Structure formats: structure tokens, C-alpha cells
Amino acid sequence: MRFIDKLTSDAAQSYKLLTDDGSQFNFSLRYRPAIQCWTFDLTWKNYTVNGIRLVNSINLLRQWHDIFPFGLVITSTDILEPQYIDDFTSGRIKVYVLNATEILDIENRLFI
């Protein structure tokens, strides 16, 4: 798991992140103050997902496992979902990128 340490409290932020195989994906976050949540857009190669709500998850990209060779882990220091503008800078919410081996390990532990 690779911790994404670049995240800030900016309401709109975009990053180019690397996968373990060296390919890049675009990861954009947007804070939605009216509904107190974070959403993200992600583009890898020719596939894009937009406006997905950031929630605590062991692999937020699981439903796209046939498309993305990586995953996203979202953790919280409490039981609350990401909902504050300073979630990343306060350290309350952490985001990690999983590689394919880590995804298999997690799934084998949970589903077998």
C-alpha cells in the first residue's frame, strides 16, 4: 500500500499518480460543502469514473476490478466517513493506492 501524502484541504485538487507498473492515473478530489462530503474522479488509460463519493473502504475501486489493476483504500481514525474540508491535512482520513498483489491478498483474506 502506498500512502498518498500530497492531499491538502483545497476544495478542488488533482494529481497524477503512479501505479506499480509505472503507468499513471489522474485522481481528482472535490469537496462538496452542501452535503459535507468528498467526491473523486479517476482516469486511467481510456476509462474514467466521475463523481464517486469518497467513503471508508478496503478497496473503493472493487466494482471496477476488471478495469483497474490497482485499488484505493480509505481509512479513518474514527468511524465517520470523509466529510470535513481538513480531513486529509488533519490526518483523520488517509488514502492509499493498492497494487494487484495487495488486492488479491485482501480479497483472499475476506472472501475465502
- Phi and psi at 6, nearest 5°, equal -85, -10
Closest CA to 58 of 7, 112, 102: 102
Tally of structural domains, the chain: 1
pTM attached to this predicted model: 0.92
Q: How far apart are CA 77 and CA 26, in angstroms?
A: 26
pLDDT in tens, 52-111: 999 999 999 999 999 999 999 999 999 999 999 999 999 999 999 999 999 989 888 876
Domain around 41: 2-111
